[in-house]
């Protein structure tokens, strides 16, 4: 028997989408144990003065309940 739970997080970074993903996963693993996986549900850009100020990624994170 196995039960998992899904939370939804949104993370950003000025460097790129994969840096935003690593930020989000680092933060998620501080409050939640046994993360199994994640999937990307949205990728966005924040623009300031015509420049990309931040890359933002919405993720659904799955972790196992013990």
Q: How far apart are CA 2 and CA 30, in angstroms?
A: 22
Three-point CA angle 57, 16, 14, nearest 5°:
95
CA distances from 46 to 3, 12, 33 (A): 36, 9, 30
Of 1-60, binders to its own copies (CB under 8 A) are 1-13, 16-18, 21-25, 27-29, 31, 35-40, 42-47, 50, 52, 54, 58-60
Q: If binding means CB under 8 A, how many residues of this protein chain bind its own copies?
A: 45
Interacting residues toward its own copies by CB under 8 A: 1-13, 16-18, 21-25, 27-29, 31, 35-40, 42-47, 50, 52, 54, 58-60, 62, 65
């Amino acid at each position: 028997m196995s039960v998992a739970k899904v939370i939804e997080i949104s993370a950003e970074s000025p460097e790129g989408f994969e840096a935003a993903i690593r930020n989000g996963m680092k933060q998620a693993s501080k409050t939640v144990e046994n993360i199994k996986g994640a999937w990307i549900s949205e990728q966005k850009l924040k623009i300031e003065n015509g420049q990309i100020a931040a890359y933002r990624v919405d993720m659904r994170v799955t972790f196992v309940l013990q």
